[in-house]
Amino acid sequence: MREQHKDLRVSHRMLAYLCDVKTELRAQKQGTEGLNEQMRQLATEKEELMAKLSEEIETRRYERETALAVETSLREHCAGAVNNYNVLIE
């Protein structure tokens, strides 16, 4: 009896294998789509963070320059005050 439908059994096995392969492919595509979406989100987040970092660097540079200008002004004012004091004492 096994010999009678040998071609049918082979065809059945091939179809079953084809269905398994298609199922695996569908699962892999879903996984790939999920990873691609996650990658797009991470790229967007990276761009936002890089822009924020650039702004923070610029803000820090401005604050440092402002602090140096204030310090220089205070040093000059202090030196002037010391000179005026020395003139008054003499």
Segment 9-45, tens digit of pLDDT: 889 999 999 999 999 999 999 999 999 999 999 999 9
For residue 90, the SS3 value is coil
For tokens 């392969």, name the residue.
21
Split at pLDDT 50, 70, 90, the class of 6 is confident
- DSSP string covering 1-40, please? -TTTTHHHHHHHHHHHHHHHHHHHHHHHHHHHHHHHHHHH
- Tokens standing for residue 42: 């991470």
Percent helix, strand, coil in the chain, to 5, is 95, 0, 5
Segment 37-88, tens digit of pLDDT: 999 999 999 999 999 999 999 999 999 999 999 999 999 999 999 999 988 8
